[in-house]
Amino acid sequence: MVFDFFRPIDTDLLIDIQSFSAQTLGKRTVFNTEHEFPKLEGAKIAVIGVLENRGAGKSNDSNDLTSVRKEFYSLFPGNWNAQIIDLGDIVAGENIEDTYYVLKNAVAHLIKNNIIPIVIGGSQDLTYAMYRAYDQLEQMVNLVSVDSRFDFARENGTLAESYLTKIIVDEPNNLFNFSNIGYQTYYNPQEEIDLIEKLYFDAYRLGEVTSNQTVSEPVFRDADLVSIDMLSVCASSSGNFSDFVPNGFSGKEICSFARYAGISDKVTSFGIFNHNYSDAEASLIAQVMWYFIEGFHYRSNEYPFGTKENYIKYIVTLEDELIFYKSDKTERWWIEIPFLSNSHNKLKKAALLPCTNQDYLEACAGSVPERWWKAQRRNLL
């Protein structure tokens, strides 16, 4: 079984956790130990460490997620009831494809059992392995990346800087949409920015998001897989001064994104990558994990699980008829992507795209929402 390749939690860390307060997360989590592997039945969240940095051109010698775990398990949970398990670490394989294989199959197995994996550690090319896990689920995938760069392939670039190209090019191609949150223009060639537009993907500049974080909420609500690059956080917040980032998200903002991802009824896997293995950054990663799990406990089980009977329907007639739905439970908005019977559709039926009240108001004023327009074009590619 794929979990045979996981290394148990360090014994010294388990001893430290035993000294924590009885109310902390460490006392409510089931760990992979030398004597017993956690039961998957009844679990809702699974923490996975991956000790693999070769994709970023770095050595795996100093990888250690003990600091992250110690910080995380010392935190106090909210009013949580979901069972959390820690499966331990995936140790770097003989080659990087071996690591990908173990992570891919582990993530697929967990998702099939309605368990959300939180993957920590390693370089961001591990997002590719998590994406490939959805091959076994036979569904289109929406990927959201919080990153200052798009990570297209470049000359002399590392795997971590080119994983998005592999996702787009490699078969089977299950990617429906890629959304970037927080790109910084001076880190990305104009050709890549143009390519994002050509493929009808969504991208939001750092300043656009920091001035109004709520623009990202519908993006996370539509995601299946969320990948966070810790290099998108400014050094003053992350404490990462070896890979110095002068501009980026604050600790508060990156935690807000994690909470948006947790609240989303669609998100089934979550990854945090490019950790510098410093104690300061470990503390922030622990809080990012905490906010994701808190968001999970506030899920409303609306779309894609609910029925349209629980929504108020609004029709706006422009050149195309736009159909909006507003939840009478959370007051969140969706817009329908129609199924066109005379065209090739990637989506096999009409689907709902998360949007905002502002999108509805702009449609009433005669403007077609840009995300709807892009989604419709992607559906017909």
Task: Express each pLDDT in 325-340 by its tens digit.
Answer: 999 889 999 999 887 7
- What pLDDT sits at residue 18? 95
Please, which pLDDT band fits residue 341 given cuts at 50, 70 and 90?
A: low
Query: What average pLDDT score do residues 321-328 get?
Result: 93
Question: Rounded to 5 degrees, what angle do the CA atoms 305, 310, 313 make?
Answer: 115
Condensed to tens digits (0 to 9), the pLDDT of residues 262-320 reads: 999 999 999 999 998 888 999 999 999 999 999 999 999 887 766 777 899 999 998 88
- What pLDDT sits at residue 338? 85
Structure tokens at 227: 């990948």
- What pLDDT sits at residue 288? 98
Residue 218 has pLDDT above 70, yes or no: yes
Higher pLDDT, 32 or 377: 32
- What pLDDT sits at residue 309? 77
The neighbour count for residue 171, using CB atoms within 10 Å, is: 6
Please, which pLDDT band fits residue 61 given cuts at 50, 70 and 90?
A: low
Phi and psi based region of residue 109 (left: phi greater than 0; alpha: psi -120 to 50; beta: remaining): alpha
Q: Which is it for the CA torsion 154, 90, 231, 279, positive or negative? A: negative
Residue 163 has pLDDT above 80, yes or no: yes
Closest listed residue to residue 175, CA positions, set 150, 200, 157: 200
Kind and range of the H or E run holding 53: none
Please, which pLDDT band fits residue 133 given cuts at 50, 70 and 90?
A: very high
Residue 345 has pLDDT above 80, yes or no: no
Please, which pLDDT band fits residue 164 given cuts at 50, 70 and 90?
A: very high
Please, which pLDDT band fits residue 342 given cuts at 50, 70 and 90?
A: low
The neighbour count for residue 96, using CB atoms within 10 Å, is: 19
CB 3 within 8 A of CB 91: no
- What pLDDT sits at residue 1? 80
Query: What average pLDDT score do residues 202-210 get?
Result: 97
- What pLDDT sits at residue 348? 63
Please, which pLDDT band fits residue 62 given cuts at 50, 70 and 90?
A: low
Query: What average pLDDT score do residues 134-160 get?
Result: 89
- What pLDDT sits at residue 308? 73
Residue 156 has pLDDT above 80, yes or no: no
CA distances 258 to 127, 184, 251, Å, are 16, 20, 11
Domain ranges of the chain: 2-296, 308-380
Please, which pLDDT band fits residue 185 given cuts at 50, 70 and 90?
A: very high
Condensed to tens digits (0 to 9), the pLDDT of residues 96-105 reads: 999 999 999 9
CB 144 within 8 A of CB 225: yes
Query: What average pLDDT score do residues 69-86 get?
Result: 96
Is domain 2-296 annotated with CATH 3.40.800.10?
A: yes
Q: Mean pLDDT, the chain, as a whole number?
A: 92
CB 176 within 8 A of CB 381: no
Residue 344 has pLDDT above 80, yes or no: no
The neighbour count for residue 97, using CB atoms within 10 Å, is: 9
Residue 243 has pLDDT above 90, yes or no: no
Cβ-proximal residues to 274 (8 Å cutoff; 6+ apart), any chain: 56, 123, 124, 160, 229, 230, 231, 243
- What pLDDT sits at residue 303? 77
Cβ-proximal residues to 319 (8 Å cutoff; 6+ apart), any chain: 368
Please, which pLDDT band fits residue 343 given cuts at 50, 70 and 90?
A: low
The neighbour count for residue 80, using CB atoms within 10 Å, is: 17
CB 264 within 8 A of CB 225: no
- What pLDDT sits at residue 241? 80
- What pLDDT sits at residue 96? 94
Q: Which of 60-64, 89-93, 131-135, 180-184 has the lowest mean pLDDT?
A: 60-64
Over pLDDT 90: what percentage of the chain? 78
> Do β-strands 141-146 and 116-120 pair in parallel, antiparallel, or remain unpaired?
unpaired
Residue 346 has pLDDT above 80, yes or no: no
